[in-house]
Amino acid sequence: MADLSRCSVPMSDQTQIISGKDVAAALRAKLAEAVEASGKAPGLAVILVGDDPASQVYVRNKITACEKTGIKSFEHKLPADSSRDDIAALINSLNKDDQVHGILLQLPLPDPLSAVQEELVQMITPEKDVDGLTIANAGKLILGLKDGLVPCTPQGSLLLIKEVCKDLTSKHAVVIGRSNLFGKPMGQLLLAENCTVTQCHSRTQDLPAVCRQADILIAAVGRAKMVKGDWIKPGAIIIDVGINRGEDGKLCGDVDFDEALGVAGAITPVPGGVGPMTIACLLGNTIRAASND
C-alpha cells in the first residue's frame, strides 16, 4: 500500500472517484464571485482555425463557461486554408486590444499550418498567454517564479490531486508523457510540491515496473486503457488525462478504469475528471491576466 497516511485516500479496497465536475463547479463559482467583486469584466479571445468537430465543441464549452463566469468572450473563426500571415495579423491585433486580456489559439492547427504552430503561439504576448505556452511563461515555471501563467490541464490536475492529498512532500510521482502542453509542466508543478518526479515516455524501459513505484501516477499518452491494473501501486492516486474512443465506441482514458478500481486509492474518471478542470483553470488564468493589466 502506498504511504499516503497524510492524505484522505481510503486505505481499503474502495477506490475514491475524484469528480472533476464537482471541483470545477466550485472553482467556477469562486471565480464568478471574484469577477463580480472586481467590477471589471475580463476578456478572452479564442482563435479557431478550420472546422474540426472536437475543437468546435471544446471552444463552444469554453465560451459558455466564460459567459457564466462573467468573462467576455471573443470568438474568431478562420477557414482551414488561412495563411500563416492571416493568423499572425489577428494575434498581433488582439495583443494590442485593451478589451482582450487572454488569447487562446485552439490547437492543433490543421495542416499545413501545423508546421508554423509553435511560431504562432510564440507571437502571443506572454501577459495574455492563458495557455501558458510561450517561452516566457514556460521559463518562469521552470525557475519557480510565481508571476507566470501556467498551462491549464496540468494546473487542473494538480488541484485534483490536492483534493485527495494536501501535502505532497516526498511522494513519488510518475508522469507518463513529456509534451510541452502537459507532461513537462506537470512535472515542474509536482517538483514545486516537493515530489520526487519520474518523467516517462516512449523510450522508457519497463514502464509497468516504473509505474508500480508511483504514489501519484499521471497518464497523458493518448492510448486507450494502456495503463493496466497491475501497473498500479495499491492505494496510489491516479490522474487520467487521456481522452480516447474505446473499441466499444465509448470515451475512455489512458488507464483501464475497471482494472484500477479496488487497486488505486483514488482515480479521475473519463469523462468528468480532468476535462472540466482544464476549462475552469483557463477562466482562472484569464481573470489573473486581467488583474495584472
Q: State how far the Cα of 182 lies from the Cα of 147, in Å rounded to an integer.
A: 19
Which of 129, 131, 240, 256 is catalytic? The answer is: 131
**Is 62 designated active site?**
yes
Please report the sign of the dihedral spanned by the C-alpha atoms of residue 213, residue 220, residue 116, residue 279: negative
Residues 6+ apart with CB under 8 A from 57: none
What cell numbers appear for 268 in the block?
A: 479521475
Residues 6 or more apart in contact with residue 156 via CB below 8 angstroms = 20, 24, 274, 277, 278, 280, 281
Query: Which residue in the list 52, 98, 99, 106 is annotated as catalytic?
Result: 106
Longest CA span, the chain: 58
Identify the active-site residue in 62, 171, 225, 233.
62
Closest CA to 58 of 264, 284, 276, 290: 276
The number of C-alpha atoms within 13 Å of 35 and in the hemisphere containing its C-beta is 23
Catalytic machinery residues = 62, 106, 131
